[in-house]
Amino acid sequence: MPDYSLSKKAYKQQSAELNEALLEAQFELRKAGKGPVLLLISGNDLAGKAEVIHTFYAWLDSRFLNTRAFVLPQGIEKRMPRMWRYWRSLPPAGELGFYLGSWYHQPLMSFSRGNLSANAFKQQMEDILRFEQLLTDEGVVVLKVWLHISPNGEAVETSAGQQRYQDTVAMREWGDFSRADYEKVRAGAQKMIELTSTEQAPWIRIPSHDPRYRDIEIAKLLLKAMRQHLESATESAASHHKSFLPGSVDRLNSVDYSAQLEKDDYKAQLEDYQNQLRELVRHPRFARRSLLLVFEGTDAAGKGGAIRRITQCLDPRYLRVHGTRAPTEEERTQPYLTRFWKRIPAPGTVVVFDRSYYGRVLVERVEGFCGAADWQRAYGEINDFEQQLQQANTLVIKFWLAITEEEQLARFQAREASPLKRHKLTEEDWRNRQQWSTYQKAINDMLEFTDTKQAPWHVIAAEDKRHARVQTLKIVCDTLRKALK
């Protein structure tokens, strides 16, 4: 039987070699600008979770290391989707992230303390699996180690354990438990490991009675993962994903583009709905809800005008409008949903996306900014994202403003002629127009695959601006009213 320990001499020799190789890999990772490598460190409180991190800080270039540590959710975190704070925590490309009390900590503690049913626990583990799958698909490496101490060493009360604990850092994630409670956490952890060990991100159990053995084992793992990461192709493998079948319904074709509204009707209805909206957001129940409005549409379809008719009714203090543009250099190296996760609404507030994460399955698909496998899996990822929002009391309302090819041409020409609007028209707009039919296909697929119960698409005929403005306002009012009942 192996005793999972290492002599001082063996440690010295192995650590010197590993240290050099790890530094080299860290340097290469940074140079290659590859997605970050995350090391999740879980395990018994006495197994030395913090010590492991100190070892790597001693071995590696600490300027490119990021330690993230999560305690139970505080303040606003309690009222946001569970994964929100983890999305915000991802380290930049080319760097390493050490996670203590990662996304596993909260469900494990709640479950072990009896505050979470077995079913809910299982559900949360599945949410985590999808999150980790998304990260690995986006080029992030997820390593999960469980520091294990054998039955004797594990006892909280052993004086040796206490002594060692005193000597290191006062980090008790598991809290001050009785022996019985402690057993419950252990059982919960066992279940957690069973539920979340996947091929791409398995849990690796590290015998941790001997710190030297423990650190060398983790270093080997990390090194291997970094080297594999460096060798892997940057393009995600299409074979991981099911073969894609384009949508079967041409929703854009079934739009009634002739819908319109006379000026007087428009004025009356606009005023009416705007008054309704003002009332609705003042409803006491809205303080615990939030609203995310997603505006997508053909270039020149009138998104800005429709958005303004809505935001005019809202208190600017509780509103943010984000014009989504091409991602910055830094944003391009992150999973594409990251910048949107950072901008989701807090309770009682409204966020408007003028264009959105749907760019993944529109411009990025059409222009080839991401691989086919990437945009094909995005439908599921986006549905999942919106579901998490909905579960956290956020209403998600999505609009596609549709105009015909002829109307777009007329508006482009009018923009060109107008000193007020010519800045809004770019070369890119003309280029996009060339690809009209390719875009139609992408839009139809999007409407088919992401039209969900929790976040339905509203396709709005926008050939007549007045009609589109009143329609979007009306839908916002109706949805809000229903939700606040």
Q: Nearer to a second copy by C-beta: 69 or 483?
A: 69
By beta-carbon proximity to a second copy, the closer residue of 57 and 436 is: 57
Smallest gap from Cβ 137 to a second copy, in A, equals: 26
186 vs 278, which CB is nearer to a second copy?
Answer: 278
- Nearer Cβ to a second copy, position 67 or 198? 67
Q: How far is the CB of 94 from a second copy (least distance, A)?
A: 12
Q: Minimal distance in Å, beta carbon 250 to a second copy? A: 30
Dihedral, 421, 427, 428, 431 alpha carbons, nearest 10: 120
Pairing of strands 37-43, 96-100: parallel
Q: Which residues of 171-201 are buried (b: 16+ CB within 10 A; e: fewer)?
A: bebbeebeeebbeebeebbebbbebbeeeeb
Shortest reach from residue 373's CB to a second copy, in Å: 30
Smallest separation, CB 282 to a second copy (Å): 6
Q: How near is the Cβ of 372 to a second copy at its closest, in Å?
A: 29
The dihedral sign for the CA sequence 11, 17, 21, 23: positive
Answer for the pair 11, 114: CB distance below 8 angstroms, yes or no: no
277 vs 442, which CB is nearer to a second copy? 277
Please report how close the Cβ of residue 311 comes to a second copy at its closest, in angstroms: 7
Q: Could you give the angle at which helices 211-231 and 49-59 cross, rounded to 10 degrees?
A: 60
Closest approach of a second copy to the CB of residue 3, in Å: 27
Residue 293 backbone dihedrals phi, psi, to 5 degrees: -105, 125
Q: What is the CA radius of gyration of the chain?
A: 26
Cβ atoms of 115 and 122 closer than 8 Å: no
| Closer residue to a second copy in complex, CB, 3/20 | 20
CB of 370 to a second copy, least distance (A): 22
Residues at the site binding a second copy, with contacts judged by CB under 8 A: 16, 19-20, 23-24, 26-27, 50, 53-54, 57-58, 61-65, 67, 69-71, 75-76, 98, 100-101, 169-171, 278, 282, 304, 307-308, 311-321, 323, 325, 328-330, 354, 419-420, 423-424
CB 461 within 8 A of CB 306: no
The nearer residue to a second copy, 102 or 387, going by C-beta atoms, is 102
* Nearest to a second copy of 134, 401 (CB atom): 401
Read off φ and ψ for residue 199, nearest 5 degrees: -60, -45
Which residue number, 75 or 151, has a Cβ lying nearer to a second copy?
A: 75
Q: How far is the CB of 18 from a second copy (least distance, A)?
A: 11
Question: Of 12 and 308, which has the nearer Cβ to a second copy?
Answer: 308
